[in-house]
Amino acid sequence: MVDYKVVLGILTLVIALVSYVPYFRDLFAGRTKPHAFSWFVWMVITGVAFGVQVSEGGGAGTWVTGVTAVLCLVIFVLALFKNQRHFHLIDWMCLLGALVSLAFWQLAENPAAAAVLITLTDAIAFIPTFRKGYHKPREDTPITFGLNGLKFFISIFALETLTLATWLYPASLVITNWSFATMMYVRRRQVKQ
């Protein structure tokens, strides 16, 4: 008999890969202009979150976090070549937060505290993207963020172990991704008028 958590884990991977198809299409067409530093910080944060989840026995629910870290790296590299290389103070602060959460997890061996730091840092790292999305709502791909929220929502149910260290980060990604996608759709309508 197939374990439903494995099925959910595979489903999150499929959603992850499908969700980035329109993003990469728009990126290469020049319609999407990602904030490079945000994607770099998300890669670091998501990589740390993946490590925390795996160390806590998250199982199939962690797979999508690992794949997302790799996709964030790819987008960061592409954004550097296609877009901007100017970064604000808040960008550097977010990176520092990600590195502090990594150090906290490794040195203090406290996965729950690391998950809280990762989650807070990720929310702060979303600020430059929210700012850009508000002012330039046509320079990002809202469907990707909507599907990202969905994949992380499902991933929570695929987790083998439900602890603060395993579920907090994906739960926060559901909220931030769906909020960002919704804000972009609303702003596109406002700007169109």
Contacts of 45 (CB under 8 A, 6+ apart): 98, 101, 118, 121, 122, 125
* Cβ–Cβ under 8 Å, residues 81 and 26: no
Higher pLDDT, 69 or 191: 69
Query: What is the distance between the terminal CA atoms of the chain, rounded to a whole angstrom?
Result: 54
58-76 in b/e form (b: 16+ CB < 10 A) is bbbbbbbbbbbbebbbebb
Give CA separation, 91 vs 37, 58, 94, 145, in Å.
6, 29, 5, 20
d(CA 96, CA 126): 14
| Amino acid 183: pLDDT | 96
Give the confidence band of 169 by pLDDT, cuts at 50, 70, 90. very high
Percent of the chain surpassing pLDDT 70: 94
pLDDT digits (tens, 9 = 90+) for 17-67: 999 999 999 999 988 888 787 788 889 889 989 998 999 999 999 999 999
In 3D, which of 123, 53, 69 has the Cα closest to residue 94?
123
What is the residue-averaged pLDDT of the chain?
A: 88
| Amino acid 193: pLDDT | 59
* Cβ–Cβ under 8 Å, residues 40 and 75: no
d(CA 116, CA 140): 28
Q: What is the pTM of this model?
A: 0.88
